[in-house]
């Protein structure tokens, strides 16, 4: 702990004297009650069988799921007398609602139905590709989340049987195949025993799902079965909500939490039949499967904007409590305790190398974890984009610990990296914000970030929570390997515990970033510079600006400037510089100060993130955004805050929806 690198040193967090209270997270209450929100994955699905007007329930659910995709939306309602009404529209949900308002409301009367909000994969974001899709007779409707990988031969098979396809999607094939199975017909090269499924929707769904490859949540209704919905799940989320005389299904409990907190999460390759009186779950062969209901413990407010214009703004402000909740309960008797630790102390002691795999913002938190892990444990730590990991030949064995960081726990690139690591016999530890998601399920151990639901597509509170969580992993490794004494571990943990206050203080100071946003909104491009832990922060700042404000934003390690990027500097170009502490990292501070002078001399307009009291920087910064002084390794937790605000406010000044940036979805389940 002697070196200035990463030493937490004495507590030097300067915050207000006010005592802040953060909403607490009851870890003990959560776990037995099962998974809270299943966030992540593209596309949102809602299904309802009950006594209320289904359309209202479905639209309300879709509003809460729109963060999952907003390329198009659609609904299907059964009127109870053999008629299926379907409406779908490209664009955000409000387009569909406007269209429905122009139609005769009576056509959508009925108490069974389903809805979908789409992130387009197969087939562009058009009306014709919007879900629900129907069979040729318009009797059966399906909505889908995921990708049916063998869609091409299935579509060819249907076309060979004379079926005309009305969309470019993989999903439509499932509609026709199930309708054929239900009618007892056998497609050209179809499944054996198709006639055995005649008139039985669940059996038809099971038979078709056995033929599907890929990831899917598929939900079906049939006009002949007015009080019934059948759904199937493989590698995509599906949760049931159990009400009184009504049953819901959805991609995320947020869709029905207003109506019931009793829920059931479906497992892999399971098929469920829901009626207003309950549900029945089987495997793909029709064998009954026992499932365990759980109670959702978080309240609706967690999934609402709470007076903010955007979820993202609320989530930025929630960072102090997200970090506090992520740390809570992890130090017991001066020992770091992780969550579901299916790795023994011996396993951790035997680790001789750490790999971090992640994507996007989670990757940036992984880059930061490297500084802490190597410093505290003296283990080599490599950080790799999950999408690249398995396509080379990483050297892994039983002594390698692979840490997979994922907010959603469902990102396909990260999931495949986890699977590759496991095949190579490495131990896998997931850092995840979504209880019970696929990545933690397939990992040997899991540490949850307790940031609560993050609805804004841009990751904010989960980024800072991931930093806190991965630092806990670093401390756990240091403890197991004996590279730190117990009192040192406890001291580092105590420093981490001061961070909610420091981040709250950083939030108090974002007024300057807000004002600056108006000025930067008309820029064509922005560069970001940082060194050491400031470099991943610069990368994250640039990512936020790209995805929210659609501006060209690029980050460089400041030392690289002279090796090429300095050629980009021109008159008036805004350059954001993340400064290290003049005390904690004096040498690097001096070097960055020189970089600032070099770029200023070439016309750059500098925006400098520096610690409060850093007077040396003042004469050289066109704009100064101050953050509280904290120990070096913890600096990213405070310096990320003004960058998040800056990106959000620039995007708003340019007139964009910060919760739903174009072309994106909350997480990405395609490779
Ligand atoms: O759910 P995950 O953390 O695995 O998601 C990884 C990235 O897709 C995600 O961080 C993405 O980069 C965010 N939009 C960034 O704001």
> Does residue 39 fall inside a structural domain?
no
Out of 271, 296, 321, a domain closes at: 296
- Point out the catalytic residue in the list 43, 359, 381, 432: 43
**Average pLDDT for 309-337:** 91
CATH number where 332 lies? 3.40.50.10490
Say what the pLDDT of residue 6 is.
38
Report yes or no on 37 lying in a domain: no
**pLDDT tens by residue, 188-247:** 444 555 578 999 999 999 999 999 998 899 999 999 999 999 999 987 889 999 999 999
Mean pLDDT of 95-124: 91
Q: In this structure, what CATH number is given to the domain that contains residue 90? A: 3.60.20.10
What value does the mean pLDDT of the chain take?
89
- Pair 365, 467: CB distance under 8 Å: yes
Q: How far is CA 195 from the centre of its chain?
A: 42
Last residue of a domain, one of 296, 322, 354: 296
Shared domain check, 447 and 579 = no
Q: Which of 18-32, 115-129, 236-250 has the highest mean pLDDT?
A: 236-250
Instruction: Please tell me which of 52-56, 301-305, 660-664 the model is most confident about, judged by mean pLDDT.
Output: 52-56
Residue in 361, 384, 465 to alter for ligand 1 test, most ligand atoms within 8 A of Cβ: 361
Nearest to 35 by CA among 409, 577, 564, 581: 409
| Statement to judge: residues 318 and 425 lie in one domain | yes
Q: Is residue 17 over pLDDT 80?
A: no
Residue 501: closest CA among 9, 8, 22: 22
- For residue 207, being part of any structural domain is answered with yes
> Model confidence at 186, in pLDDT bands (50, 70, 90)?
low
Please give the distance of CA 590 from its chain centroid, rounded to a whole number. Answer: 38
Please compute, for residue 614, the number of CA atoms within 13 A of its CA located in the half-sphere on the CB side. Answer: 28
Residues 290 and 311 both lie in one domain: no
Residues 67, 654, 537, 11: what is their CA dihedral angle, to the nearest 10 degrees?
Answer: -90
541 touches 646 (CB < 8 A): yes
Is the CB of 456 inside a 6 Å radius of any atom of ligand 1?
A: no
518 and 609 belong to one structural domain: yes
Structure tokens at 123: 């087939």
Q: What is the per-residue pLDDT for 20?
A: 36
In a domain, 553, yes or no: yes
For ligand 1, whether the C-beta of 407 sits within 6 Å is yes
The whole-angstrom separation of Cα 34 and Cα 551 is 41
Q: What pTM was computed for the model?
A: 0.72
Q: Are residues 172 and 56 in the same domain?
A: yes
pLDDT of 29 > 60? The answer is: no
Q: What are the pLDDT digits (tens) for 535-583?
A: 999 999 999 999 999 999 999 999 999 898 999 999 999 999 999 999 8
What per-residue confidence (pLDDT) applies to 585?
A: 87
Q: Does residue 632's CB lie within 6 angstroms of at least one atom of ligand 1?
A: no
Q: Which domain holds residue 605?
A: 504-671
Does any domain span residue 35?
A: no
**C-alpha dihedral over 669, 553, 593, 621, to 10 degrees?**
-120
For range 450-464, the mean pLDDT: 92
591 is catalytic: no
Looking only at the bridges linking them, the beta strands covering 229-234 and 270-275 are antiparallel
Rounded-to-integer distance, Cα 600 and Cα 619, Å: 12
Alpha-carbon distance 82 to 453, whole Å?
A: 39
CA 634 to CA 10: how far, in whole Å? 13
Distance CA 554, CA 416 (A): 28
Question: What pLDDT shows up at residue 299?
Answer: 67
Residue 666 appears among annotated catalytic residues: yes
Residue 463 tokens read as: 């980024």
DSSP 288: B
Classify 82 as helix, strand or coil: coil
Task: Give yes or no: residues 206 and 142 share one domain.
Answer: yes
Give the DSSP H or E segment for 423: helix 412-423
In a shared domain, residues 542 and 444: no
- Tell me the residue ranges of DSSP E strands in 268-394: 270-275, 278-283, 294-295, 331-332, 335-336, 340-341, 353-358, 381-385
Which segment of 135-144, 331-340, 371-380 scores lowest on mean pLDDT? 331-340
* Residue of minimum CA distance from atom 4 in ligand 1: 406
| C-beta of 49 in contact with ligand 1 (< 6 A) | no
What pLDDT was estimated at residue 66? 84
Q: How many domains does the chain have?
A: 3
pLDDT band (50, 70, 90) for residue 5: very low
Q: Which of 296, 331, 352 is the last residue of a domain?
A: 296
Overall residue count recorded for the chain in this entry: 671
Mean pLDDT over 98-117 rounds to: 94
Residue 404 lies in a domain: yes
Any ligand 1 atom below 6 A from CB of 40: yes
- The answer to whether position 261 is within a domain reads yes
Going by pLDDT thresholds of 50, 70 and 90, the confidence category of residue 26 is very low
With bands split at pLDDT 50, 70 and 90, how would you rate the model's confidence at 669?
low
Q: Does 138 share its domain with 82?
A: yes
332 and 481 share a domain? yes
Catalytic residue among 89, 370, 484, 666: 666
**Of 316, 403, 407, 442, best ligand 1 pocket probe by most atoms within 8 Å of the beta carbon:** 407
Same-domain pairing of 469 and 418? yes
Rounded to 10 degrees, the C-alpha dihedral 371/377/382/385 comes to -70
Say how far residue 631 (Cα) sits from the centre of its chain: 29
Share of the chain above pLDDT 70, in %: 91
Look at residue 120 in the predicted model and tell me its pLDDT: 78
Q: What is the pLDDT of residues 157-168, one digit of tens each?
A: 999 999 999 999
Q: State percent of the chain over pLDDT 90.
A: 73
pLDDT of amino acid 388: 94
Is 34 within a domain? no
With contact defined as beta carbons under 8 Å apart, do 216 and 153 qualify? no
For residues 605-625, give the mean pLDDT: 94
For residues 561 and 478, membership in a common domain is answered with no
- The response to whether residue 359 sits with its C-beta less than 6 Å from ligand 1 reads yes
Question: What is the rounded CA–CA span in Å between residue 448 and residue 221?
Answer: 36
Crossing angle of helices 93-101 and 54-65, in 10° steps, is 160
Strand-pairing partners, residue 216, are 146, 234
**Tokens 């050629």 map to which residue?**
567
Distance separating alpha carbons of residues 580 and 594, to the nearest angstrom: 13
Cα angle value 422/426/431 (rounded, 5°) = 80
389-437 per-position pLDDT tens digit:
988 889 999 999 999 999 999 899 999 999 999 999 999 999 999 877 8
| 3-state class (DSSP) for residue 477 | helix
Q: Are residues 368 and 259 in the same domain?
A: no
CA distances from 368 to 169, 204, 493 (A): 40, 49, 17
pLDDT of amino acid 416: 95
**Smallest CA separation from ligand 1 atom 16, residue:** 458
């Amino acid at each position: 702990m002697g070196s200035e690198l990463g030493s937490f040193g004495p507590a030097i967090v300067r915050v207000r004297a006010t005592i802040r209270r953060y909403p607490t997270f009851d870890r003990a209450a959560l776990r037995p009650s099962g998974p809270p929100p299943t966030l992540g994955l593209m596309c949102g699905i809602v299904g309802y069988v009950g006594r209320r007007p289904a359309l209202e329930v479905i639209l309300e659910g879709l509003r809460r799921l729109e963060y999952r995709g907003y390329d198009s939306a659609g609904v299907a309602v059964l009127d109870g007398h053999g008629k299926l009404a379907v409406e779908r529209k490209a664009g955000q949900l409000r387009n569909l609602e406007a269209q429905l308002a122009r139609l005769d409301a009576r056509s959508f009367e009925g108490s069974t139905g389903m809805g979908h909000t789409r992130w387009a994969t197969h087939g562009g974001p058009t009306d014709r590709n919007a879900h629900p899709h129907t069979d040729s007779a318009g009797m059966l409707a399906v909505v889908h989340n995921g990708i049916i990988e063998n869609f091409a031969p299935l579509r060819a098979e249907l076309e060979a049987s004379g079926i005309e396809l009305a969309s470019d999607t993989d999903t439509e094939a499932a509609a026709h195949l199930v309708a054929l199975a239900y009618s007892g017909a056998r497609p050209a090269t179809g499944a054996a025993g198709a006639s055995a499924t005649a008139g039985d929707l669940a059996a038809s769904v099971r038979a078709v799902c056995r033929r599907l490859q890929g990831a899917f949540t598929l939900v079906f209704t049939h006009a002949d079965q007015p009080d019934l919905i059948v759904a199937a799940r493989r590698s995509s989320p599906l949760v049931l909500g159990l009400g009184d005389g009504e049953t819901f299904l959805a991609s995320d409990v947020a869709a029905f939490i207003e109506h019931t907190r009793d829920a059931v999460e479906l497992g892999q390759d399971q098929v469920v039949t829901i009626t207003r009186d309950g549900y029945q779950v089987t495997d793909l062969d029709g064998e009954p499967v026992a499932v365990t209901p759980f109670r959702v413990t978080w309240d609706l407010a967690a999934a609402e904007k709470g007076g903010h214009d955007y979820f993202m703004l609320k989530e930025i402000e929630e960072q102090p409590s997200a970090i506090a909740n992520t740390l809570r309960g992890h130090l017991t008797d001066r020992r770091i305790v992780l969550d579901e630790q299916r790795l023994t102390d011996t396993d951790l002691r035997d680790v001789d190398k750490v790999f971090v795999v992640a994507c996007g913002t989670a990757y940036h938190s992984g880059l930061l974890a490297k500084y802490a892990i190597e410093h505290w444990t003296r283990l080599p730590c490599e950080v790799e984009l999950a999408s690249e990991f398995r396509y080379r030949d990483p050297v892994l064995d039983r002594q390698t610990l692979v840490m997979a960081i994922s907010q959603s726990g469902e990102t396909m690139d990260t999931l495949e990296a986890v699977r590759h690591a496991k095949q190579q016999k490495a131990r896998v530890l997931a850092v995840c914000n979504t209880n019970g998601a696929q990545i933690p399920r397939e990992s040997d151990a899991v540490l949850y970030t307790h940031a609560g639901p993050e609805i804004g597509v841009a990751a904010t509170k989960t980024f800072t929570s991931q930093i806190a969580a991965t630092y806990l992993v670093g401390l756990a490794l240091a403890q197991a390997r004996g590279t730190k004494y117990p009192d040192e571990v406890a001291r580092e943990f105590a420093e981490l515990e001061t961070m909610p206050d420091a981040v709250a203080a950083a939030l108090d100071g974002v007024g300057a970033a807000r004002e600056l946003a108006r000025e930067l909104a008309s820029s064509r491009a922005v560069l970001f510079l940082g060194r050491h832990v400031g470099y991943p922060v610069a990368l994250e700042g640039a990512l936020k600006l790209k995805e929210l404000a659609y501006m060209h934003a690029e980050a460089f390690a400041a030392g690289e400037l002279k090796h090429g990027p300095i050629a980009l500097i021109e008159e008036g170009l805004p350059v954001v510089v993340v400064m290290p502490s003049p005390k904690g990292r004096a040498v690097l501070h001096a070097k960055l100060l020189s970089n600032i002078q070099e770029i200023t001399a070439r016309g750059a307009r500098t925006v400098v993130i520096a610690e409060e009291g850093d007077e040396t920087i003042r004469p050289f910064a066109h704009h100064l955004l101050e953050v509280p002084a904290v120990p070096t390794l913890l600096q990213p937790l405070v310096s990320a805050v003004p960058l998040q605000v800056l990106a959000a406010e620039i995007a708003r000044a340019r007139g964009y929806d910060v919760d739903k940036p174009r072309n994106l979805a909350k997480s990405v389940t395609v490779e």
